[in-house]
Chains A and B, each alone.
Chain A
Amino acid sequence: MPDSTATLTRGAVHRSGRGGWSWFARRYGAILPMAPGMLFLVVMSIYPTIYSLVISLFRWNLSDPTRMRFGGWHNFGLLLTDVTFWNAVGVTFKFVLIAVSLELILGLAIALLFFQRFPGDRFLRALLILPMVVAPVVVGLLSRYMLNVQFGIITFLTEALGLGRIDFFGEPNLALGTLIVIDIWQWTPFMFLIMLAALQGVPEDIIEAAKVDGARPVRIFFDHILHLIRYPVAVAVALRLIDAFRVYDIIFMTTRGGPIDVTQTLSWQIYDAGFKSLDIGYAAAYSWLMLIIVVATVTLVLRLLLNEQASR
Chain B
Amino acid sequence: MTAYSSIKDVTPGVSDGKVAGIEFAAVNMTFADGTTALKSLDLTIEEGEFVVFVGPSGCGKSTALRILAGLEQATGGTVAIKGRDVTDLGPQQRDIAMVFQSYALYPHKSVYENLAYPLRIRGLDKGTIETAVAGVADLLGLTALLKRKPGALSGGQRQRVAMGRALVRNPEAFLMDEPLSNLDAALRVEMRGEIKRLHRRLGVTTVYVTHDQVEAMTMGDRVAVLRGGELQQFDAPQRLYEQPANMFVASFIGSPAINLAMAAIGAESSVMTLAGTEIGLPPSRRPEGHPAGPVMVGIRPEAFSYRRDLEHDVSLTITPDLIESLGAELLVHFALPAAPVPVALTSSAKSAVSPIALSGNAAEMSTRFIAKLDARCAYAVGKPATVWFSTDHLMLFEAATGRTILASAPMIKLSV
Tell me if chains A and B make direct contact, with any CB pair below 8 A. Answer: yes
A residues in contact (CB < 8 Å) with B:
9-13, 15-16
Residues of A within 8 A of B30 (CB): 11
B67 → A minimal CB distance (Å): 10
Between-chain CB contacts (< 8 Å), 9 pairs: A9-B32, A10-B73, A11-B29, A11-B30, A11-B76, A12-B75, A12-B87, A13-B73, A16-B88
* B interface: dominant SS: loop
Is B204 an interface residue when CB atoms closer than 8 A count as contact? Answer: no
Nearest A residue to B33 by beta-carbon distance?
A: A9
**Pair B73/A12 contact, Cβ less than 8 Å:** yes
Number of A-B contacts (CB under 8 A): 19
Is B74 an interface residue when CB atoms closer than 8 A count as contact? Answer: yes
A7 → B minimal CB distance (Å): 11
CA–CA, A12 and B78, complex, Å: 10
B336 → A minimal CB distance (Å): 44
CA–CA, A15 and B76, complex, Å: 9
**Pair B75/A11 contact, Cβ less than 8 Å:** yes
B384 → A minimal CB distance (Å): 48
Nearest A residue to B67 by beta-carbon distance?
A: A12
CA–CA, A15 and B27, complex, Å: 13
Q: Contact residue range for chain B?
A: under 10
A263 → B minimal CB distance (Å): 52
**Pair A11/B88 contact, Cβ less than 8 Å:** no
CA–CA, A10 and B67, complex, Å: 12
- Chain B 27-51, CB-CB to A under 8 Å as 1, else 0, gives 0011010000000000000000000
A291 → B minimal CB distance (Å): 35
Question: Apart from A13-B73, A15-B87, A16-B88, what 5 extra A-B contacts exist at CB < 8 Å?
Answer: A11-B29, A11-B76, A12-B73, A12-B74, A12-B87
- Chain B 66-82, CB-CB to A under 8 Å as 1, else 0, gives 00000001111000000
Interface centre among A9, A15, A16 (most CB of B within 10 A): A15
Lowest 5 CB-CB distances: which A-B pairs, in order?
A: A11-B75, A12-B73, A9-B32, A10-B73, A11-B73
B198 → A minimal CB distance (Å): 33
Nearest A residue to B31 by beta-carbon distance?
A: A11
Interface centre among A9, A10, A11, A16 (most CB of B within 10 A): A11
A3 → B minimal CB distance (Å): 14
CA–CA, A12 and B87, complex, Å: 9
A273 → B minimal CB distance (Å): 50
**Pair A15/B32 contact, Cβ less than 8 Å:** no
A215 → B minimal CB distance (Å): 38
Nearest B residue to A26 by beta-carbon distance?
A: B88
Residues of B within 8 A of A10 (CB): 32, 73
Residues of B within 8 A of A16 (CB): 88
Nearest A residue to B88 by beta-carbon distance?
A: A16
Considering the complex, which residues of chain B in the window 84-135 have a beta carbon less than 8 Å from any beta carbon of chain A?
Answer: 87-88
CA–CA, A15 and B32, complex, Å: 17
B413 → A minimal CB distance (Å): 49
A23 → B minimal CB distance (Å): 11
CA–CA, A11 and B30, complex, Å: 8
CA–CA, A9 and B73, complex, Å: 11
Residues of A within 8 A of B88 (CB): 12, 15-16
B40 → A minimal CB distance (Å): 15
Nearest A residue to B90 by beta-carbon distance?
A: A26
A249 → B minimal CB distance (Å): 41
Residues of A within 8 A of B32 (CB): 9-10
Residues of A within 8 A of B73 (CB): 10-13
B39 → A minimal CB distance (Å): 14
A242 → B minimal CB distance (Å): 34
Residues of B within 8 A of A11 (CB): 29-30, 73-76
Residues of A within 8 A of B76 (CB): 11-12
CA–CA, A11 and B73, complex, Å: 6
Nearest B residue to A10 by beta-carbon distance?
A: B73
